[in-house]
Amino acid sequence: MSETKTETSLKGVKNLAALTGNEAVAQALRQINPDVIAAYPITPATEIVQIFSTYVSDGLVNTEFVAVESEHSAMSATIGASAAGARAMTATSSQGLALMWEMLYIASGLRRPIVMPVVNRALSSPINIHCDHSDTMGARDAGWLHIFSEDAQEAYDNTIQAIRISEHPDIQLPTMVTMDGFIISHGMEVVKMLDDDVVRDFVGTYKPDTYLLDVDKPVTMGGLDFTDFYFEHRRQLAEPMEAAPGVVKQIGEEYGKLTGRKFGLYEGYMLDDADYVMVLLGSTAGTAKTIIPELRAKGIKAGLLKLRMFRPFPADEIADAAGRAKKIVVMDRAEGFNAVGGPLCAEVKAALYGKSRAEVVNAVYGLGGRDLGPDLARAAFDLSGPGVIHLGVRG
């Protein structure tokens, strides 16, 4: 594991560390110091909790760590710990997230503010351990907030902020913080960490609103709820999603003051006057940011809209920021299996409906870790036509 060292040559920046995405998130977990972590190993997320388990044994955190026998149990134990009043976390990827599926809905339905780093990986079958977004896309309507990260720095920053977002009184919902498998999780970069006490002050102590064994305020969680009130409760569950954009922005600003970095619902790169806009999630933003200046130099007004928040979906912001473009290329790192479009494109089209005359093109790319190099990314700007275009596929 990498050591944190103080760097004096960069003014105002200390705690620079060479970290992989997994190491950066493990450091964030150490600084958050949750009460309980229950987890099960799965490539490429295994290291996050494995590294964390050494912090537990070295006494660097006060966390109870449970190595459970499956992800279904991991999410269940995390929900149980959270219901008992603990700040509880877990981490997973791919099939692990798929196996958690029914418990994901319990976590949101019980309003447990659980934060879970998810390392995006393809789903079986066939078996593949590399990056795409099929896993979290399959959980996109489970009542969780989804925050995507472009690099290890963002994975670190987003994990810390997610605690505050999830636990915010107006939210009280679980959040998954994602990063691209291997590309971010195993790629090493320089990460600017905050001091431990700064993070601990920022996340504060978890004060649950309701928890089990509070004899003055006894509760039943997840009771039977038929035609009488189920509908009302489901609507209540959707309401915090409306409050979430404001909360995410507010906490992003607060965290931004500590770090000098900016955190909104999306990041625009050469976006304001762009005629050709690429919309995407995750690490591919880095590739887009290298080719866009080249296109600009040739007089092509290209730009990028990198979504940070996927759930709730910032539809109005997207329409405002990109609606005036001539063409919008939506890059999906997951197949939609619906003959209409990838999950991101479907949402973007809905967001633009009635607000934009842009041609919206959908490219599905990078499934199972297939690399999207600068040439393909450049080619994506030239794509045209309806339907789903599979970019970089053979045959």
Ligand X SMILES: Cc1ncc(C[n+]2csc(CCOP(=O)(O)OP(=O)(O)O)c2C)c(N)n1
- Which residues of the shown chain bind ligand X in the complex (CB under 6 A)? 40-42, 71, 95-96, 99
Whichever of 120 and 287 has its CB closer to ligand X, that residue is 120
* Beta strand pairing call for 145-148 and 309-311: antiparallel
Q: How far apart are CA 336 and CA 345, in angstroms?
A: 9
CB of 369 to ligand X, least distance (A): 16
Contacts of 57 (CB under 8 A, 6+ apart): none
* Partner interacting with residue 279 (select from ligand X, other proteins, none; CB below 5-8 Å by kind): none
Whichever of 6 and 57 has its CB closer to other proteins, that residue is 57
Whichever of 97 and 361 has its CB closer to ligand X, that residue is 97
CB of 135 to ligand X, least distance (A): 11
Whichever of 43 and 178 has its CB closer to ligand X, that residue is 43
Contacts with other proteins, residue ranges (CB under 8 A): 40-43, 46, 49-50, 53-54, 57, 67, 69-70, 95, 99, 124-125, 127
* Partner interacting with residue 49 (select from other proteins, ligand X, none; CB below 5-8 Å by kind): other proteins
CB of 55 to other proteins, least distance (A): 10
Whichever of 39 and 361 has its CB closer to other proteins, that residue is 39
CB of 36 to other proteins, least distance (A): 15
* Partner interacting with residue 15 (select from ligand X, other proteins, none; CB below 5-8 Å by kind): none
CB of 29 to other proteins, least distance (A): 14
* Partner interacting with residue 205 (select from ligand X, other proteins, none; CB below 5-8 Å by kind): none
